[in-house]
Amino acid sequence: MNGAATRSGSANAPLAGVRILDLCRVVSGPFGSLLLADLGAEVIRIESVPTGDPAAIDPSRLSEDEAFNWGLSRNKHSVSINLKSERGRELFYGLVAQADVVLDNFRPGVTTRLGIDRATLAEHNPSIVTCSLTGFGGDGPWSTMPAYDPIVQAMCGTMNYTRLAPDQPPVRWGIPIGDLYAGIFSAMGTVGAIIERDRTGVGQHIDVSMLDVMLALNTYRVPQALTFGEEPLPAPFEGGQGTVPFGNFECADGWVAICISQRMWPAAAEVMGRPDFLADERFSTGPARHAHRDALVAELQKVFKARSADWWQEHLMAAGVVCGKVTSVADVFVHPQVRDRGMSVDITDEFGRTATVAGDALRFSDPATWRAPRQVGADTALVLQSLLGLEPSQLEQLGSDGIVHAGDPNGGIPLCDRSAPSASGREVKSSGGPLRGVTVLEMNGDEPSKAFAAQLLADFGADVIRVERPYGQVVEPYPDESREASFRAGLNRGKRSVIADLKTQEGRDFLLGLASHADVVLDNYRPGVLGRLGLDYDSLREVNEQLISTSITGFGHSGPWSSYPAFDNAIQALGGGMSVSVDHTRPDVPIRWGNPIGGLTGAMFAALGTLAALRLRDLNGHGQKLDISLLDSQVALLSYRAPQAVTVGKEFLPEPRRGGTGSLPFGVFRTADDRWFTICITPQFWAPFCRAAGHPEWIDDPRFATEPLRRANDEALYELVEPSFLVRTAQEWEELYYSLKLPGAIVLNIEEAFSHPQAVARRMRLQLKDPDISREIEVAGVVLKLSDAASTDNISIPGVDTVQVAAEFGLPAPDVEIRRPSERWRGTEPSAAEAAI
């Protein structure tokens, strides 16, 4: 744990005393509020008043729908109020006056129609923090369009190069990352806004767009495509930094994902029994393997089929070579590392029913205190009596009038004491972001798991200082100048840079000097590395007791796999998502999502955890160590799937033509101009979809009249739908769907995604000056657009800020050589002017 385990909702939790009213439904918002509950917030779900008699509870088993709810609504209260009634809104306003945060994921305009928009709520509580999570954001030409996860995945640019080959269909990642990642960002924004409110007494509104989030995850891909004209192509056998061998390989009884760097290559060849690979000029070095990738892949496909996936995983990982078995959702929760890290948790309800849920990846809460979700409205009486002082007779009358539903007059877990904010005596001023005045030291390297986390903290206003290796100590050089510049710009916006040679005493002393004045140290070294350097958390605490250390590793600092190496491809495989991500024409082949979401997910959890740790330090004055595991973070994304797969026994198979929300038809379809169009037709869109397709006769066709019938006859349906899309171009289909407000979108490439009018309107495309190239470089914009946010428009050459930072911290500047990264490819020596940068 991050220090000692703390009880969710206790006085030692980061969000102790914070009360949240959660209006969210389905996945994205409830996942965000679940993360906030794990950080100690008291979350009260505001649910609709059920119509008719509530469904009977089977005390002997969970239904599939109940299991879904257990995965997202544990540790939350349930209050049932009719917000469409004037009296219901009055009750809600009373709750708002005694709350800190209101979350919603309604479509834009709904809160205004209901009379619960931010302006109205602020009249009842001026310091309230509000967060609206929508598909496309609160403004822009697509703001009112229906948005589902497949749509934002198609529009973000990544699905375009998530394919088996350029001529194969684009593939959606089988877990709804558009929803889940937006939930993580809503939690980040909420914690940031609470930190800001603690300082100023002023609340604010957070506008989270699923599309903005998915665009931002392109990081280094954006400058590659927009600045250097290198639009990403499908590369299932090449890593983002050009690593080969890389990708998914079929074994005797399953699949494994590998990522083998130059350092690992000799050990891998030995395990494979192929020492000839090391002598073969085509495969002996990283650049040679990159140049002869196809030949090497052909050889490896034969090698891996000779043994089982478990054998390869065991022997390669034991040799220090990254290898992860493509694991099913249910099997994830019996993995020894998952179980040892507490990411598989059993909870029990009042009927004695027990289910397995995903654990807390940040480890701020104590699973021993977790409770199963309450039935709809089970806490209505408790909450309204505790907070509004209503009498039982008043509750009974409100129930009779259909204003509330009080499912359990006996109530449940008592409410926590709220720490109400007070702005009295405070000077309210522009803050420059919630983390203004916070210094973050980011240890060297451009790995997305760490660099993206630090960039998110910079977006919140932190002063992020990259501590770089000297020029000659680059371990895995980039294959070309444009890729180096793209990683540097796409992952390091808004940071400063110093150089410290940690192999020398001078460099270590400089780092310790920086740490003595810093607030956070962020690293992704393998466990034990910093200890050998004398720079582990205990050593850093000796110079700064209030320091927060956020360590990001593949498998964490504990458990049987803690010492194993990890790269994104293996994390995606081990985390369950790869097992359900396939091309609908090749459902037997698992596919890696084109962006490194194994690392990026860990980065988001690291940023959220660091924000929470900073808030906790504000409360108790203590620093701590955060142990962030990429695998834990992937497992957390299985939230609602965990109880369904493990407890109910639902088998999650690849279903590229069926959506999780009853969507069918669903997926990608080729159009007249040989492009791909994505649709997600839930039952309410069935009739307008048929009319848009020019086939109104499908509406009442007895094979397709209902959603269950469409599922039973999906082959016949797709035989009709497939050719129907060939009568128009992709652009014509999008224009038609846009006019009818149907859920559909073109599968865009990166250039198109960042030129889309919604992306432009939301300022998701930035042009920044890079001192190492002759033109401006384009990067993804800031997702969480908080008021008074700090400027994040600089990109630094490695080490360029060493002298200035040393002076600011009162430290002697180490003697370092500052060289432009481009020299590695241009073969030029720095001019006198450049050397003096």
Nearest to 259 by CA among 565, 533, 606: 565
Helix H or strand E encompassing 427: none
Helix H or strand E encompassing 212: helix 210-216
Handedness of CA 102, 105, 109, 115 (dihedral sign): negative
631 Cβ contact partners less than 8 Å away, ≥ 6 residues apart: 337, 338, 341, 343, 554, 555, 556, 561, 566, 571, 574, 575
Helix, strand, coil share (%) of the chain residues, nearest 5:
40, 15, 45
DSSP 731-785: HHHHHHHHHHT-SEEE---HHHHHHSHHHHHTT-EEEEE-TTSSSEEEEE--SS-
769 Cβ contact partners less than 8 Å away, ≥ 6 residues apart: 776, 777, 793, 794, 795
Listed as ranges, residues in the chain with pLDDT below 50 are 1-9, 424-428, 829-837
723 Cβ contact partners less than 8 Å away, ≥ 6 residues apart: none
Nearest to 692 by CA among 740, 744, 745, 731: 740
Interval 672-695: pLDDT, tens:
999 999 999 999 999 999 999 999
Nearest to 458 by CA among 229, 687, 795: 795
Total residue length of the chain: 837
DSSP 49-87: PPPSSPPPP-TT---HHHHHHHHHHTT-EEEEE-TTSHH
- Catalytic option among 22, 100, 117, 179: 179
For residue 352, what are the CA distances in angstroms to 60, 69, 492, 678? Answer: 8, 17, 50, 43
**What does the block give as tokens for 15?**
């969000």
**What does the block give as tokens for 796?**
């630094």
Cis peptide before 665 (omega within 30 of 0): yes
246 Cβ contact partners less than 8 Å away, ≥ 6 residues apart: 237, 238, 239, 258, 259, 260, 569
| Buried-exposed string 45-69: b where 16+ CB fall within 10 A, e elsewhere | bbbbbeeeeeeeeeeeebeeebbbb
CA distance 45 to 30: 9
Query: What radius of gyration, in Å, describes the C-alpha atoms of the chain?
Result: 27
CA distance 26 to 45: 12
Structure confidence at residue 774 (pLDDT): 79
CA distance 2 to 363: 7
Phi, psi of 745 (to 5 degrees): -160, 155
CA distance 630 to 386: 41
CA distance 177 to 580: 13
Interval 203-226: pLDDT, tens:
999 999 999 999 999 999 999 999
Our answer to whether residue 179 is catalytic in this structure is yes
The counts of H helices and E strands in the chain are: 36, 25
Question: How many whole angstroms from its chain centre is CA 30?
Answer: 14
Identify the residue whose tokens are 């602020």. 122
CA distance 738 to 136: 13
